[in-house]
Amino acid sequence: MAQRPGKANGVLVLGGGITGIQAALDLAASQAKVYLVEKTPSLGGRMAQLDKTFPTMDCAI
Amino acid sequence: MMDAGRHPNIEVLTNSELVRFEGRAGNFRATVKKYPRYVDEALCTGCGQCVNDCPVIVPNEFEVGMGARKAIYSPFPQAVPNTYIIDRVNCLNDQFLVCTNCQKSCDRDAIRYDDIGEEIELHVGAVVVATGFDVYEASRIPSYGYGLYHNVLTNMELERVLNASGPTRGHIVRPSDHKVPKKIAFIQCVGSRGEGKEAGCEYCSRFCCMNAVKDCMLVKQHEPDIEELLLFYIDLRAAGKGFEEFYQRSLDMPELKYIRGRPSKIMEDPETKDIFVYVEDVETGKVDKIRVSMAILSAGAVAAAANPDLANVLGIELDENGFFEVETRYGSPLHTARQGVYICGCAAGVNDVSDSVSQGSGAAAEAEKFIEKIPVETEPVEIKELDTSGPPKVGVFLCHCGINIAGVLDIDSLKEYAESIPDVAYVENNLFLCSDEGQRLMQNKVVEHGLNRVVAAACTPRTHEPVFQESCEQIGLNPYLFEMVNVRDQCSWVHTGVPEIATEKAKEMIKLGVAKARHLQPLYRKSIPVNQSALIIGGGVAGMAAALELDAQGMKVYLIEKEGRLGGRLNNLTRVYPANLSAFELARVMVEKVKASRVEAMAGTEVTGITGYVGNFDVATTNGNFKVGTIVLATGAGIYEPKDEFGYGKFDNVITNQELEDILHDTKGKIQIHGDTPKNVVFIQCVGSRDAETNPGCSRYCCPTTIKQAIRLRESGVNVTVLHRDMRTVGAKAEEHYRRARELGVKFLRYTPQRLPLVTGKDNRATSVEILELALDRILDVDTDYVVLAAGMVPNEASTAKLQDILKVPRGADGFFMERHAKLGPVETTSEGVFLAGCVSGPKDIADSLAQGSAAAAKVASIISRDTVNLEPTTCIIEPSLCRACSMCVDMCEYHAPSLVDIAPGLRAAQINQALCKGCGTCASWCPTGAIVALHFTDQQINSMLDALLLDRV
Amino acid sequence: MAVRTQQAKKKTKKEFIPNIVVFACNWCSYAGADNAGTNRMQHSPHFRVIRTMCSGRVTPGFVLKAFKLGADGVLVSGCHFGDCHYIFGNYKAVEQFEKTKGLVKTLGLDLKRVRLEWVSAAEGVRWANLIDEFVGQIAELGPSPLNHKPKYG
C-alpha cells in the first residue's frame, strides 16, 4: 500500500453479503478504492442461500 | 455479486478478517488477516476437476448440512471468487496423511498445501460494517424438538430444499421417509418476540412472517398436491412495500390456513414420525393438538457471534441484544459512536433486504466524506484500432475448460469442422482459454493472422464475455466483433451422457456463432458530459439528508421545497422513536445545517418542467431555471384523510393520530385535549391502510406511532385501549416499546375487517366503542373520551401525478413511485439519473427515510463525481429513410427513448435518444417498417443464424 | 431426461430427431439454461438456442422464418412477469406471440409447434423439464410439413 499523506482514498467494507456488496459497488462507482472483506470463502451472504425473495418472487442470486 | 468481483476499484478479500484497527476518520490503518485457502486464486479457474478426485465427503454448510461436499470445494455454484478452497480440518493431506489427489488432478498446478495466508495492511478513510446476522439456534427451544425429531426443519433448511439446485433438487420431502408431506405447519417467532424462560430474543426479527408466507406459496408451487399448510403466528407482520398485498394474495390459497397462536410444544409420533403441534388458537380460545407431516420453524435473526470481537477491534459498542450500537443522536440508523465507522444492514439490528440495500448505499455515502477520491488510473496507452473493414476473417477458439468441455466433446472433430466453415481463417484450441496464457494466445493469433472477427466456443457469455472483450480491446480489435458460443454450460454439462450428439450440437452452435460473427459490426462506447450537480425535490428529512451528504462531498446541490419552509413532516411531529428524539430539535439542527452549507435551498418553489437525460437535465422552476446532472425525488407522502369512518367528522372527539400529535405538540407535555384531561382514549389502527378501497398497503409507521403516543398518554394516567388487526411493531426497538406499553397497562384488542369497531355517542361526542372480543365471542363496550384514528400513509396524489407527468417515472398500483427493483434497487428508478428517497416510494419512518436520503446521495455521487457517463453502444438506432413516423416505438418504450423529430422541413421521423435506450430491442421487433436496428442483435444477424441453422444442416 | 436419452440410444429403430429453435432472453431464460448446466441437469440435446436481450425482441418474422426454413418447433422463453429486466418487455412478447400464433396457424401448422414460456435465472430444473417436454411433444407431432429434410437417428 502506498502511504499517502492526508486523507486515504480507500474504504474498508466488512461483510460480503448483499448490504456490503451494495456499499462496495456504490463506493467504487464514486471512484473510491474499496477493500471488501468477507470472513467466509465466497461473497453472497445469506441472500445467496435463499431460493426466492418476497414480494416479487425474484430469484435471490 | 459478480459485479463486485469484477469491479476494478474493488479488491475482494474473502476468507479474511479485520484483526487490527487504529487511527481516526479519514486516516485509519487496518490490518486484515487473510486465512489460507490452499488454492492459488490467480491460477484456479474453477473447473472443478479436483473435486472429482477428492476422497473426503463432509456435510455442506451452504446446504445447512443437508447436502454433501468434498474437502476441496467451491462453497456454491455461483461463488465469487470461483476459486476452490481446501477445508484442511477434513483434508487427508497433513503431517501424517499424504493424499495429494487434488494436486495431481490440477492441470494448472494451483494447489498449495503449505499456504499460510497473509496479513494485509490497508490505509482507509472510513469503514462500513455490514457483517449481517446469525440465524437463531432453533435447538435452544427444547419444547419444539428441533434436532430431536426428523421432520422439524428450520426456515433456512426449507429455503435450500425449495431451491432447484439444493440438496433435493427442489423437491419437498420429509427427511424421515423421503415422502412428499401432506400437511406442513409453519411456526413463527422461534427465537423472536421471546417471553419466559425459553425466551430467545425480545425483538421482532421482521422478515420471518413474509418469508413464511412466501415459502407457503412456493411449497404449493413445487408440490401442487399438498393438502394443508398451517401458519401459526402472533401478529402477521407484512410491513413493507407490497408486502400486505402479497399477504392478501396468499389468503386466496385454499390450502393455507392462518392460525393465531404460539404453539406451546411440538411432539413426534414415534411410529409415523408425524408431528403434533400443541397450540391454543387465541381467536377461538380452543386448545388443540394438530397432526402434521412436517413442521417448519421460522427461526429469527440474532446478533452475529463474531460481533463482540469485531466491536473490540473497531472500538465501538454493542447494544443490549449484541448488535452494533447505533448512535441515535442524528436520527439516522447508520452512525456509530466512532466517527468514520458506519453500520448498515443486519449488523445493527434486523432489516429486510430492501432496507439493508438502502442502508448499504447510505453507509457508502457517509464513508465517501472521509476519503479523497482518486480516479483509478486507466492506462493512457493509445491502442491503434485494427482495420476490420475487409471481408470477414473469423478466428475460432475452442476451450477445453480442463475436462469440462474436452471430457465430453470431441475437440479434434470440432476443430476440423470449424476449419471447414466458410470465412473461418484460423482455428485454435486451448486448455483454459480464459487464463492469462489462453487470452494471450488468442491475442497473438488475431494479430498474426489478421483476423477481424473472433468466436470463442467456451463457457457462458454472462460471466466471461467481458474477459474476452477486454482482451480484444487491448489489441485494438473492437470488442463487439467478438462472439461467444456456450458449449460448456449449455452443451457438455447438460448432454454429458451422449457425447457424439453433444459434439454434433456443439458444431452447429459454432456454426451459429460464426454466422452471427460474419455480420458483427464495430460499435463504440459513447460518453456524454455530466453536469456535476444535483436537484433534490422535497425538503423533508430524506431530501435534506441527501442534500447534506452531497454537500459534504463537495457537490453542487439545489434543494427545492414546495412549502414555505424546510423540514417536511418533521415540523408536525413531537417526538421521534425509537430514541425519543425531539422532532423539533432534529428539524432545527438539519435545517440549520442546510442553511450553513453551500446547498442552494429554495423554499416555496415548485418544479414546472424537466427535460433531458442523465447528466444533462434542464430544470424549470417557479424560482428560475438551471441545469443538473441528477435528480432525487423526495417529496414524501400524504396522510389519509378519514371520510366518515368510525364517526370521524360526526363526533368532535374522534381525531386522527396527526391531530393528536398536534395537540401533544401544542400542550407541551401536559396531556390536555381541548382543555380537558381525558380519562379514556381508544386508538383504532389501519384507518386508510390494508383496505382494498382506500389503500391496499400497510402504512408501516402507524403501529409504532400509536405505541409511542399510547405510552405518552398512559404515563400521564390515561386509560388507553388499542384496537388493531395485527400489531406491526417492526423496526428498531419497536417491539420493545410495544412490550413496555403492555407493561404500563395499555390494552390491546384485535378486530377483524369483517367486524369493525363501532363508535357510538350522543350529539357530537363519541362516548364508547363497541368491539367484538374474539376469544370470548362477546361484544365489549369500551368507554372513551377520545377516539384516535391511526391514519395510513398514501401517495400525495397531486404532486406525484405532476412529477410522474414531468419525469415519466412509473408509479405502482399503490400510487407510489416504483423502484427499479423492489429489493436490489430501492432508491433507483428506471430512468437513469433519477432517484427516490423517503416516503415518495412508499411509507417509511424517519430513520428509514434518513437512510434512504443518504442512499440516494451515494447513487447521485456515483454519477456526478465523474465528468462523463459512458453509454453502452448496444442500443437501438433508427434508419430515418425507412421510418414513416407511426410513433409505435414512441408509445411502447418504457424508457421514453424514442421521440418524433423533424428531420427535414415537413418530414418527421422517430429518433432514439441513445442515453435513454437500454437496448432491449423490443421496439425493433415491433417496428412495422424495419427502420429500427437493435445493434448487436440485428435482424440480419439473427436471420443469418436461422439460415445457418436450418438451410444447410450438418 | 438422462433416462430418456439413454433409452433413445438403445432403440435400434431410427427415430425422428426434431429440429427446434429456442429464443432465450439474456437475463432470465438464458441464465436459467446456464443454471441447468451448473447443476448438471441432463436434458434433451435436440434444440438450438439463439440469445436475444429480451423476449420482446422476438418478432413474429423470426419465428415464421424458422418454420419456413423447416424448423419443427419454436420456443420463445423470457422472464416471469415482474422479473423483466426491461420492466414490461415480456408483456410485449405476449402481444407479439399472439400475432405469431395467428401467422403460424395461417401457415397451416399445428399451434403445438410454437410456445411461449417463462424461465427464471434460478430455474435450471424448470428449463431442463421444459426442454424435455417440448422436444417430446414435437417428436410426437413428427416432422413439420415444411421440413423437407427431416432427420432420423
Confidence of residue B199 (pLDDT cuts 50, 70, 90): low
Same domain, B240 and B223: yes
| Residue B267 DSSP SS3 | strand
- pLDDT at position B554: 92
Confidence of residue B831 (pLDDT cuts 50, 70, 90): confident
Question: If you count them, how many residues does chain C have?
Answer: 153
CA–CA dist B57, B42 (Å, integer):
26
- pLDDT at position B954: 44
Least trusted range by pLDDT, from B345-359, B370-384, B561-575, B592-606: B370-384
CB contact under 8 A, C52 and B830: no
Nearest to B936 by CA among B949, B952, B917, B916: B917
How many other C-beta atoms can be found within 10 angstroms of the C-beta atom of residue B77? 19
CA–CA dist B584, B589 (Å, integer):
9
> Chain A contacts of B85, Cβ < 8 Å?
41
User: Largest Cα–Cα distance in chain A?
Assistant: 49
CB contact under 8 A, B943 and C65: yes
- pLDDT at position B162: 84
- Give, as one character, the DSSP assignment of residue B45: -
CA–CA dist B696, B35 (Å, integer):
51
- Give, as one character, the DSSP assignment of residue B330: G
CB contact under 8 A, B495 and C45: yes
* Residue B509 within any structural domain of the chain: yes
H/E segment holding residue B613:
strand B607-613
CB contact under 8 A, B159 and A53: no
Domain count, chain B: 6
Closest partner residue to C83 among A58, A60, A61, by Cβ?
Answer: A58
* Residue B952 within any structural domain of the chain: no
CB contact under 8 A, C37 and B163: no
Q: How many percent of chain B have pLDDT more than 70? A: 97
Q: How far is B258 from chain C (nearest CA, A)?
A: 27
pLDDT digits (tens, 9 = 90+) for B66-77: 788 999 998 876
Same domain, B538 and B520: no
Confidence of residue A58 (pLDDT cuts 50, 70, 90): very low
Closest partner residue to B894 among C86, C93, C96, by Cβ?
Answer: C86
CB contact under 8 A, C66 and B489: no
Q: Which domain holds residue B916?
A: 875-934
Q: How far is B891 from chain C (nearest CA, A)?
A: 12
Confidence of residue A60 (pLDDT cuts 50, 70, 90): very low
Q: Tell me, yes or no, if B502 comes closer than 8 A to chain C by beta carbon.
A: yes
Higher pLDDT, B47 or B929: B929
Residue of chain B nearest C128, judged by CA positions: B494
Residue A61 pLDDT greater than 50, yes or no: no
Same domain, B78 and B29: yes
Residue of chain C nearest B947, judged by CA positions: C69
CB contact under 8 A, B130 and A10: no
Least trusted range by pLDDT, from B447-461, B637-651, B707-721, B816-830: B816-830
For chain C, domain boundaries: 2-144
Please state the rounded mean pLDDT for residues B258-280.
95
Residue B953 pLDDT greater than 90, yes or no: no
- pLDDT at position A49: 76
CB contact under 8 A, B4 and A46: no
Least trusted range by pLDDT, from B441-455, B588-602, B672-686: B672-686
- pLDDT at position C12: 54
Are the CB atoms for B296 and B275 separated by under 8 Å? no
Q: How far is A16 from chain B (nearest CA, A)?
A: 7
Residue B870 pLDDT greater than 70, yes or no: yes
* Residue B97 within any structural domain of the chain: yes
| Cell numbers given for B495 | 448432454
pLDDT digits (tens, 9 = 90+) for C101-141: 999 999 999 999 999 999 988 788 899 999 999 999 999 99
Confidence of residue B21 (pLDDT cuts 50, 70, 90): very high
Q: Tell me, yes or no, if B697 comes closer than 8 A to chain C by beta carbon.
A: no
The residue out of B737, B759, B792 marking a domain boundary is: B792
CA–CA dist C58, B925 (Å, integer):
6
Q: Which residues pair with B627 in a beta bridge?
A: B618
- pLDDT at position B164: 66
Which stretches does DSSP call E strand in chain C? Answer: 16-17, 20-25, 48-52, 73-78, 114-118, 151-152
Residue B548 pLDDT greater than 80, yes or no: yes
- pLDDT at position B380: 55
- pLDDT at position B667: 64
Nearest to C42 by CA among B88, B497, B43, B814: B497
CA–CA dist C4, B719 (Å, integer):
72
CA–CA dist B542, B636 (Å, integer):
8
CATH of C2-144, one of 1.10.1060, 3.40.50, 3.40.390, 1.10.1160: 3.40.50
> Chain C contacts of A60, Cβ < 8 Å?
122
Q: How far is B379 from chain A (nearest CA, A)?
A: 16
* Calculated CA dihedral for residues B549, B551, B557, B559, nearest 10 degrees: 60
- pLDDT at position B775: 80
Higher pLDDT, B750 or B954: B750
- pLDDT at position C85: 83
**Which domain CATH number covers B500?**
3.40.50
Same domain, B841 and B880: no
CB contact under 8 A, C122 and A52: yes
CB contact under 8 A, A19 and B80: no
> Chain A contacts of B344, Cβ < 8 Å?
19, 23
- pLDDT at position B374: 63
Closest partner residue to B894 among C49, C66, C87, by Cβ?
Answer: C87
- pLDDT at position B1: 57
- pLDDT at position B44: 87
Q: How far is C112 from chain B (nearest CA, A)?
A: 20
Which is it for strands B680-687 and B719-724: parallel, antiparallel or unpaired? parallel
Are the CB atoms for C103 and C64 separated by under 8 Å? yes
pLDDT digits (tens, 9 = 90+) for B576-604: 877 778 888 899 999 999 999 999 999 99
Chains contacting chain C through 3 or more C-beta pairs under 8 A: A, B
> Chain B contacts of A59, Cβ < 8 Å?
none
Chains contacting chain B through 3 or more C-beta pairs under 8 A: A, C
Q: Which of C120, C123, C127 is best to mutate for the A interface (most A CBs within 10 A)?
A: C120
CB contact under 8 A, B494 and C41: yes
Quote the mean pLDDT of chain B: 91
Residues 6+ apart with CB under 8 A from B394: B421, B423, B424, B425, B451, B452, B453, B454, B455, B514, B517, B518
Are the CB atoms for B690 and B244 separated by under 8 Å? yes
Are the CB atoms for B874 and B483 separated by under 8 Å? no
Are the CB atoms for C2 and B497 separated by under 8 Å? yes
Residue B685 pLDDT greater than 60, yes or no: yes
Higher pLDDT, C152 or B813: C152
CB contact under 8 A, B77 and C38: yes
Confidence of residue B534 (pLDDT cuts 50, 70, 90): very high
> Chain C contacts of B943, Cβ < 8 Å?
62, 65
Please state the rounded mean pLDDT for residues B473-495.
95
Q: Which of residues 24-53 of A touch C (CB under 8 A)?
A: 51-52
Residues 6+ apart with CB under 8 A from B436: none
Confidence of residue A51 (pLDDT cuts 50, 70, 90): low
CB contact under 8 A, B461 and C51: yes
Least trusted range by pLDDT, from A29-33, B125-129, B294-298, C89-93: A29-33
Instruction: Say how many Å lie between the first and final Cα of chain C, rounded.
Output: 18
Please state the rounded mean pLDDT for residues A5-22.
88
DSSP B526-559: EEEE---EEEEE--SHHHHHHHHHHHHTT-EEEE
CA–CA dist B228, B234 (Å, integer):
20
For chain A, domain boundaries: 10-59
Closest partner residue to B497 among C5, C71, C88, by Cβ?
Answer: C5
Residue C8 pLDDT greater than 50, yes or no: no
Closest partner residue to C48 among B77, B488, B949, by Cβ?
Answer: B949
Which is it for strands B72-73 and B85-86: parallel, antiparallel or unpaired? antiparallel
Residue B221 pLDDT greater than 90, yes or no: no
> Chain B contacts of A23, Cβ < 8 Å?
128, 130, 344, 360-361, 363-364, 367
CB contact under 8 A, C50 and B942: yes
> Chain C contacts of B460, Cβ < 8 Å?
34, 37
Residue of chain A nearest C122, judged by CA positions: A59
Closest partner residue to A55 among B246, B367, B376, by Cβ?
Answer: B246
Q: Which of B485, B941, B950 is best to mutate for the C interface (most C CBs within 10 A)?
A: B950
Q: How far is A44 from chain B (nearest CA, A)?
A: 6
> Chain C contacts of B501, Cβ < 8 Å?
5, 45, 153
* Residue B49 within any structural domain of the chain: yes
Nearest to B724 by CA among B740, B739, B706, B709: B706
DSSP B414-463: HHHHHHHSTTEEEEEEES-TTSHHHHHHHHHHHHHTT--EEEEEES-HHH
Residue C39 pLDDT greater than 80, yes or no: no
Q: Tell me, yes or no, if B214 comes closer than 8 A to chain A by beta carbon.
A: yes
Q: Which of C38, C79, C83 is best to mutate for the A interface (most A CBs within 10 A)?
A: C83
> Chain C contacts of B926, Cβ < 8 Å?
59, 92, 96
DSSP A16-59: -SHHHHHHHHHHHHTT-EEEEE-SSSSS-TGGGG-SEETTTTEE
Q: Could you give the C-alpha distances from B912 to B414, B619, B629, B887, C71, in angstroms and in order?
A: 42, 22, 20, 12, 34
- pLDDT at position B2: 59
> Chain C contacts of A61, Cβ < 8 Å?
121-122
pLDDT digits (tens, 9 = 90+) for B132-180: 999 999 999 989 999 999 999 999 999 888 876 678 877 899 999 989 9
Q: Tell me, yes or no, if B156 comes closer than 8 A to chain A by beta carbon.
A: yes
> Chain A contacts of B345, Cβ < 8 Å?
15, 17-20
| Cell numbers given for B120 | 494485509
Q: What's phi and psi for B6, nearest 5 deg?
A: -100, -15
> Chain C contacts of B497, Cβ < 8 Å?
2, 5-6, 42
Q: Tell me, yes or no, if B246 comes closer than 8 A to chain A by beta carbon.
A: yes
Q: How far is C13 from chain B (nearest CA, A)?
A: 17
